[in-house]
Amino acid sequence: MEARLRNVLPDQELIRFYEQMFVSREFEERCAEQYTKGHITGFLHLYSGQEAVAVGATAGLHRDDYILSAYREHAQAIVRGVDPKRVMAELFGKATGVCKGKGGSMHLFDPKLNFMGGYAIVGGQFPISVGLAFAARYRGEDRISACFFGDGAVNQGTFHESLNWAQLWQLPVLFICENNYYGIGTEVHRSSALASIHKRTCGYDIPSEKVDGMDVIAVYRAVKYAAEKVRETGRPYFIEATTYRFRGHSMADPAKYRSAAENEMWRARDPLPNYAKGLIEEGIATREALADIEARCRAIVDEAVTFAEESPWPDDGAVWEDIYV
Amino acid sequence: MFEMTYRDALNLALKEEMRRDPSVFVLGEDVALYEGSFKVTRGLLAEFGEERVKDTPISENTIIGVSVGAAMGGLRPVAELMTVNFALLAMDQIVNHMAKIRSMFGGQTFLPMTIRMPGGGGSQLGAQHSQSLETYFMHCPGMYVLYPATPADARGLLKSAIRDNNPVIFLEHELLYNSKGEVPEDPEHIIPIGKADVKRLGDHVTIVAYARMTVLALQVAEELAGEGISCEVVDLRSLAPLDEETILESVRKTGRAVVVEECWRTCGLGGEITSRIYEHCFDLLKAPVERVSGLDVPMPYSRKIEKVCIPQPGTIRQAVTKVMTGKY
């Protein structure tokens, strides 16, 4: 059998990908449970199924690179290093949350880790990522701006304005489209005249490629290459990662617009078991070692839930804080 | 003191702040090579170069979004929207992003950015280029709104806006660009945000106004002085935060108030100020508060009828007469 994984990275790193994907999945599934218990309220958009994108892409970036995302961003934050306890506490609306309970699920943010936010207006993060890239260049910093978004965002004005702008000003922005084929309940071919999203960058002369977003190694390789290109040229690059969310758009969506056959087809491509199988087959990890990792991930998420439950609510007076400097 | 125009005072403020702080940069449509539609950015490209004086595409929402990102990344952007009317294309980045980011991210970042927007009516530019949208911005928490009436205030307030660590909407009245006034020589003469200015002392009636309405109110006050009516003119300068104390202090003294706004009357800032006067000074009022506003209509082009829609010295005078005598 051809070794697909071995030598891409040291074994320890490859195993870490599994751990990061597993903790992300576990986190999301526990969020769903906590939502049904009423501990998490408001909007909740879960990432289950798309983990290979966040994990592979984050590994392909430098720690100094900015990451921005939309509102399905728990995994991107956690994989970048935001403490799951503080993310869960944010979802519970507690004062110990990463944004003191003022942001919620859709607005995670941690500038110490260069995680520059989850944005809940579709396409709102595009120009902000361009502005951050400009600031980095202006200040002579060696970093790029990585902007995650969904297939639904590519018909917003800010998408086109920002692609044009990034190329015009020659800014180091890496656009990463997570194409999960649905903007809420509308399939991509019902909203985009050209459904092959990566081709849409030709109007701005931005190089682009499509990658299998269910394959963490493929995403890692593509993003690493693209990020280096962006760093080297100071110009934008575009990746379309095709993926699938196993759940509805949000907890309010039973996803009846998708067929059982389609679900089954994508479930068979679940990035976690497939990657685990590869690790075992290539002798990078044993089933037992992976089981240990899974147990550790469950413990991390358990701890996050306990922390969130036991954390205090914000004081009423907090509503007047942190609006102005 | 220098004598200079409102336009030159703004230009001077930009130059002084760019010299003072290398993190300040200017961006907007036609601001660099063309030196601005109203020439407020004249000479900037020549002095500060391409990286600090940036022409942008006609993408208003993204002009503001890029400014938000740049501010988050450690710069101090001064964006120009060619006119306030085009801010409506940028309301998503202004209201949903700029004004929310500090709060919704739990105070972990701040946005030291300024958006300059020329606006106001009276130049026969038609319905889409003559709006006074100050109330739209005032309504939204998370940003400041400034609107100077004089060259000295224009310079001092713009300097404050650029130095401030909060997002600031900085409105400029298109009909004031050529107005002249004395400006202090001291480059550190800055006007604090949130402080109204009593531009004329008086005893009988308080006229609360801002921007071009202040200029008109001062003309009226001068005329009425000759007729024995002593008007105090409070120039708001800062619409958000609103200097309620200076307004109330003046009304407590005079017992009468006329509030002048260029914007539409319905839900206009005049209604807000009037309400605050009633809340705090009801028992002291000698007459009901009068409001002078822009008419609630899309602005017509023809100069004969455009005038009807914008407060004029005559309408302000009528309102003052009414609060003084109970009749027109």
What domains does chain A contain, in order, with CATH numbers? 11-307 (3.40.50.970)
Which amino acid is present at B265? R
Catalytic site residue from B129, B204, B272, B290: B129
Q: What is the predicted pLDDT for the residue at B328?
A: 65
B320: pLDDT strictly greater than 60: yes
Contact A323 B103 (CB under 8 A): yes
- Chain centre distance of CA A15: 19
Per-10-residue mean pLDDT of chain A, 325 residues long, equals 84 98 98 97 96 98 98 98 98 98 98 98 98 98 98 97 98 98 94 95 97 98 98 98 96 93 97 98 97 98 98 98 97
* Closest CA relative to residue A18, chosen from A270, A302, A305, A299: A270
Model confidence band, residue B125 (pLDDT cutoffs 50, 70, 90): very high
Contact A109 B108 (CB under 8 A): yes
The verdict on ipTM greater than 0.85 is yes
Instruction: Tell me what the pLDDT averaged over chain B comes to.
Output: 97
Separation of alpha carbons B243 and A269, rounded Å: 62
B129 carries an active-site annotation = yes
Which amino acid is present at B8? D
- Burial track A31-67 (b if 16+ CB lie within 10 A, e otherwise): beebbeeebbeeebbbbbbbbbbbbbbbbbbeeebbb
Q: What is the predicted pLDDT for the residue at B326?
A: 82
| Backbone angles phi and psi of B104, in degrees to 5 | -70, -15
Q: A66: which chain B residues are within 8 Å (Cβ-Cβ)?
A: 73
Domain ranges (residues) in chain B: 2-183, 197-325
CB atoms within 10 A of CB A212: 18
Nearest to B72 among A110, A116, A165 (CB): A116
Q: What is the predicted pLDDT for the residue at A192?
A: 94
Model confidence band, residue B27 (pLDDT cutoffs 50, 70, 90): very high
- Answer CATH for B2-183 from 3.40.50.2000, 1.20.140.10, 3.30.70.2740, 3.40.50.970: 3.40.50.970
Cβ proximity of A214 and A274 under 8 Å? yes
Contact A131 B70 (CB under 8 A): yes
DSSP state of B98: I
Size of interface A-B (CB pairs under 8 A): 135
Q: What is the mean pLDDT of residues B9-38?
A: 98
Asked if B166 is an interface residue toward chain A (Cβ–Cβ < 8 A), one would say yes
Asked if B22 is an interface residue toward chain A (Cβ–Cβ < 8 A), one would say no
B144: pLDDT strictly greater than 70: yes
Separation of alpha carbons B169 and B67, rounded Å: 13
B189 carries an active-site annotation = no
- Cα dihedral sign, A45-B91-B42-B7: negative
Pure H helices in chain A: 11-36, 51-59, 74-80, 84-92, 125-138, 157-168, 188-191, 216-233, 260-267, 271-281, 287-310
DSSP state of A81: T
What tokens appear for A202 in the block?
Answer: 């030709």
Q: What is the predicted pLDDT for the residue at B327?
A: 74
Nearest CA in chain A to B105: A99
**DSSP track, B13-79:** HHHHHHHH-TTEEEEETT-STT--TTSTTTTHHHHH-TTTEEE--S-HHHHHHHHHHHHHTT-EEEE
Q: What is the predicted pLDDT for the residue at B1?
A: 87
**DSSP track, A138-163:** HTT----EEEEEEGGGGGSHHHHHHH
Q: What is the predicted pLDDT for the residue at B214?
A: 98
Same fold: B2-183 with B197-325? yes
Asked if A325 is an interface residue toward chain B (Cβ–Cβ < 8 A), one would say yes
Q: What is the pLDDT of residues B158-202, one digit of tens each?
A: 999 999 999 999 999 999 999 999 999 999 999 999 999 999 999
As a whole number of Å, the end-to-end CA separation of chain A is 60
Q: What is the predicted pLDDT for the residue at A32?
A: 97
- Looking up tokens 């196993």 gives A246
- Answer CATH for B197-325 from 3.40.50.920, 3.30.420.40, 3.40.50.720, 3.80.10.10: 3.40.50.920
Nearest to A168 among B57, B73, B107 (CB): B57
Asked if B76 is an interface residue toward chain A (Cβ–Cβ < 8 A), one would say no
Q: What is the predicted pLDDT for the residue at B264?
A: 98
- Looking up tokens 């609006």 gives A323
Q: What is the predicted pLDDT for the residue at A1?
A: 54
Q: What is the predicted pLDDT for the residue at B61?
A: 98
Q: What is the predicted pLDDT for the residue at A4?
A: 87
Separation of alpha carbons B291 and B310, rounded Å: 13
Residue A127 preceded by cis peptide, ω within 30 = no
